[in-house]
Amino acid sequence: MKRVLLIVGGGIAAYKALELARLLRKAGIGVRPILTRAGAQFVTPLSLSAICEDKVYSDLFSLTDEAEMGHIELSRSADLIVVAPATADLMAKAANGLADDLASTTLLATDTPVLMAPAMNVRMWTHPATRRNLQTLKADGVSFVGPDEGPMACGEFGEGRLAEPPAIFEAIQAMLAGDAGRPLAGRRAIVTAGPTVEPIDPVRFLSNHSSGRQGYAIAEALGRLGAEVILVSGPTALAAPAGVTRVNVQTARDMLAACEAALPADIAVCVAAVADWRPDGTGLSKIKKGDGPAPPLTLVENPDILATLSRSDRRPRLVIGFAAETNDVEAYAQAKLEKKGCDWIVANDVSQPGVMGGTENTVAIVSAQGIERWEKAPKGEVALRLARRIAEELK
């Protein structure tokens, strides 16, 4: 039986550790919990022990615990150490080799793989100190899942929410499976994400509300399953997922050129919200507002990236497009599948609140075999499910 050492840090998201432990036990994975002093402010040792079906460890200087299982042995008693939530404090201690409690001492004393699921206020997550610690931990071989973006208990909105338990569970399963958990190892994937920006003049441009979250999540999920991922991204505020090569572009023509330069590839997932049209010519200086009518804006059609990749002499084995629609979603997706020549269309209804620019998505996979409808879920979960579906298709 595989075993996980679960370190529960202090934060409002600590309650999700109980759900994570339940998923692990249901899958037959042993869970031995360490509860920090701060974590005990949010979940009780009794509830954690009951779900994990094991004793809760918390005190570095407990004579009983040290006699039964010292912290050195505890640090090596599992196949994987999971820190959820990984607070800014725990990350800082681990990055700098501090060891003043059982959790930090365990992390310093182990040679077992470590997976951290960060959770903290958005300003703490984006603080230069946390970013330095993140890079140090990654360089030390620590793996990460999340954080997600969304509303927080403190009332703010942004990146820093603990990844949902199913997403953490998927990451744990992949790490415990080793090579078997990386079914896309040796595969190369191109993922487009975000909006494109089509300049009208040096100040103004045409664009859309795409945040890039779904595309970035798919790039991260494909990388987690072992693929070499090239993320061709329009302008977003998102950080590139660990291990993913990001190519920054602005216009639709830039994005097509970057995709073609990334060929050959096994997989292409075109998630980006590419502008269908661009201005016919760009002003060299700012167009001034005059007393007369507004100047005419003539538009010309942009290149079709999805269709171009689908018909390329170096066509990827699996080409997937996205169809963001506000009505007749599946009908438009089926028509797009035939017109573009791709293998799948992932159709999503962007008229629903929280989808375009938001953190959740409801999709249907449209292919020649029919329509596979998925329930609404966080974009990270949609990405993991899609990545596993891709791995099954290419197996």
Residue 180 is classified by DSSP as G
Three state DSSP letters for 256-278: HHHHHHHCCCCEEEECCECCCEE
CA distance 125 to 89: 11
Which residues are registered as beta bridge partners of 300? 278
- Kindly tell me the sign of the dihedral angle through the C-alpha atoms of 84, 88, 94, 95: positive
Q: How many CA atoms lie within 13 A of 138 on its CB side?
A: 13
Q: Extract the tokens encoding 283.
A: 């002003």
Does the annotation place 376 within a ligand binding site? no
Of the candidates 243, 233, 241, the one whose C-alpha atom is nearest the C-alpha of residue 211 is 233
CA distance 339 to 317: 18
Q: Extract the tokens encoding 162.
A: 């603990």
- Burial grade of 293 (CB within 10 A; 0-12, 13-18, 19 or more): exposed
Is 18 within 8 Å of 49 (Cβ atoms)? no
Q: Which residues of 77-99 are buried (b: 16+ CB within 10 A; e: fewer)?
A: bbbbbbbbbbbbbbbbbbbeeeb
Is 154 marked active-site?
yes
**Planar angle of CA 68, 72, 76, nearest 5 degrees:** 100
Is 234 within 8 Å of 180 (Cβ atoms)? no
Does the annotation place 286 within a ligand binding site? yes
Is 86 within 8 Å of 104 (Cβ atoms)? no
CA distance 164 to 166: 6
Catalytic option among 52, 154, 270, 342: 154
Who contacts 385 (Cβ-Cβ below 8 Å, separation ≥6)?
374, 377
Bridge-based pairing of strands 377-378 and 360-361 is antiparallel
Q: Is 40 helix (H, G, I), strand (E, B) or coil?
A: helix
H or E stretch at 191: strand 188-193
Which residue type does 297 have? L
- Binding residues for CTP are 276, 286, 303-306, 322, 336, 340
Catalytic residues: 154
